[in-house]
Chains A and B, each alone.
Chain A
């Protein structure tokens, strides 16, 4: 499957329908610069991504984007944090091997001396009930986005 990113780049990934459980008691933490390029992350972030530290550093955060995630969710994320506010939501993330993991993510702007210098995301183990509610919702959003991208004649 080919994934297209906002900056015009793309890559081909194999998607596997296999969920990796979120590690109990942990937080998955990452920080980016103002453009979404990874600058810091913790061991749980590395472990869950399936990539090595060397592969991750300097990558854009979209390396984790799963094709089941609607673009509108991330647009909302970016609009919210760029205005200096806190965003939260459920995200399905893609691992290097094509499998996935669900998280409940909170993203905040890092404000220093009144200026946004980057963003931090802290993810925790989501409630299964909430995930089951959001799956059909995201599927609907995704279908709509597909229609507007390649209109049917």
Chain B
């Protein structure tokens, strides 16, 4: 049975191929069998985690608590200088200038991306808005979130910052950024499960050296990353604590 690698379903579509290349690279480097399993939604992926079907996961910080504290996962690395930040945007011509001016009954478009949604809702608190006094619609992708804004079907949308800047110029020209989070410490992490325990160290040193090796650097590029950095157990515990306060 191969070990199963999975990626948080919020990865940017243009990097899917990169994760397959990473899977192949990993097999060559470790001489272990890995199989990449992708899920369409966070709920499907969480089911698989609950059934212990995943051994290595590039996880959304929102899921880190469950993976570490309930499933015994350990962080191997974090993507180099890459944090998850949230953008709140509206239609270019919308008469909205700042968050505090937003009113109850606001129509929000979002995705099932859990950390971005959490940050987005938090950024609305200064306007006294929450799930009870707004109308929240969940879309399958950030492109669809943008479309809803362009078609005036919603007032504001939540975007992962990277995904927002992956939208075409044409689309972005029709949108207006109202606020960007600058939290810095909320980020995805690569976590390994109990079955991979004997290989944690080997995997960690491979990842740390990846950017210094020309093949490894190409693989990283295909994944949209520049490298990996150390993520200690305490770094992970702290991020989980932080998520818990949001």
Contact = CB atoms under 8 A, between A and B. Distances in A.
Interface of A: 22-27, 29, 31, 42, 86, 104, 106-108, 110, 112, 120-122, 124-130
A130 B184 contact: no
Interface residues of B, number: 22
Name the 5 nearest CB pairs between A and B, nearest first: A106-B245, A122-B245, A127-B128, A25-B181, A125-B126
B245 A120 contact: yes
B181 A127 contact: no
Contact of A129 (B123, B128, B237): B128
Given A25-B183, A108-B244, A128-B128, 17 more contacts: A25-B181, A27-B183, A31-B238, A104-B125, A106-B246, A108-B241, A110-B237, A120-B241, A120-B245, A121-B245, A125-B123, A126-B125, A126-B126, A127-B127, A127-B128, A128-B100, A130-B128
B126 A122 contact: no
A22 B180 CA distance: 14
B51 to A, nearest CB: 27
B144 interface: no
A17 B100 CA distance: 23
Contacts of B181: 25-26
Interface string B211-246: 000000000000000000000000001100110111
B122 interface: yes
Contacts, number: 57
Given A24-B99, A42-B184, A110-B237, A122 B128 contact: no
A39 B123 CA distance: 27
A120 B182 contact: no
B163 interface: no
B179 interface: yes
B122 A124 contact: yes
B166 to A, nearest CB: 20
A107 B181 CA distance: 21
Contacts of B185: 29, 42
Contacts of B242: 29, 120, 122
A29 B184 CA distance: 11
9 contacts: A22-B126, A24-B123, A26-B181, A26-B183, A104-B125, A110-B237, A122-B242, A125-B123, A126-B126
Nearest to A29: B242
A54 B128 CA distance: 36
A24 B179 contact: yes
Contacts of B180: 25
Nearest to B100: A128
Contacts of B241: 108, 110, 120
Contacts of A112: 237
A131 to B, nearest CB: 10
A26 B182 contact: yes
A127 B125 contact: yes
A122 B181 CA distance: 14
A108 B240 CA distance: 11
B238 A122 contact: no
Contacts of A26: 181-183
Interface in B121-145: 122-123, 125-128
Interface in B151-203: 179-185
